[in-house]
Amino acid sequence: MSTVEWVAGPPALEDYLAQRKDAGLSQKTPEQGAAALTGSWYFCHIRERVTGRAVAMGRVIGDGGWYFHIADMATLPEFQGQGLGRQVIDALVAHIRAHAPENPYITLIADPPGRRLYEKVGFTEINPSRGMELPWVRK
């Protein structure tokens, strides 16, 4: 029997915040985390059966019409290399394909550690477009 189980839905807020931190993603406040958990189009995670602790997660944000962006892909370091990230990304893409209208636009920002996984799933670079961000500067 597997020591982990797949869950359709978000992890607990504490797990979400801890997993982002422990997986090397930027840290978020509890208010930001709560909004991510309730404001996502779809969320899934994998948790330990015994403790219930989330060990891998991902979510989809979007308008439900044509635009779907995969975010918060993270697997705790001690669980990496077991195919859990692949299970999460496959579940997210399958959910989009099953519930989105025809021809959805599915995007993500690929940090270096995840690029190989995303390419295996079929993601390609968006050319000539380029991901950009607006740094937050308090005025």
The whole-angstrom separation of Cα 76 and Cα 73 is 10
Q: Any idea which of 57-66, 69-78, 82-91, 122-131 has the lowest mean pLDDT?
A: 122-131
Which pLDDT score, from 0 to 100, does residue 131 have? 87
Cβ contacts of residue 67 below 8 Å, gap of 6+? Answer: 104, 105, 107
Report the CATH number of the 4-121 domain.
3.40.630.30
Q: Is the pLDDT of residue 17 over 80?
A: yes
Whether 12 shows a pLDDT value over 90: the answer reads: yes
The domain limits of the chain are: 4-121
34-60 tens-digit pLDDT: 999 999 999 999 999 999 999 999 999
What band does 1 get if pLDDT is binned at 50, 70 and 90?
low
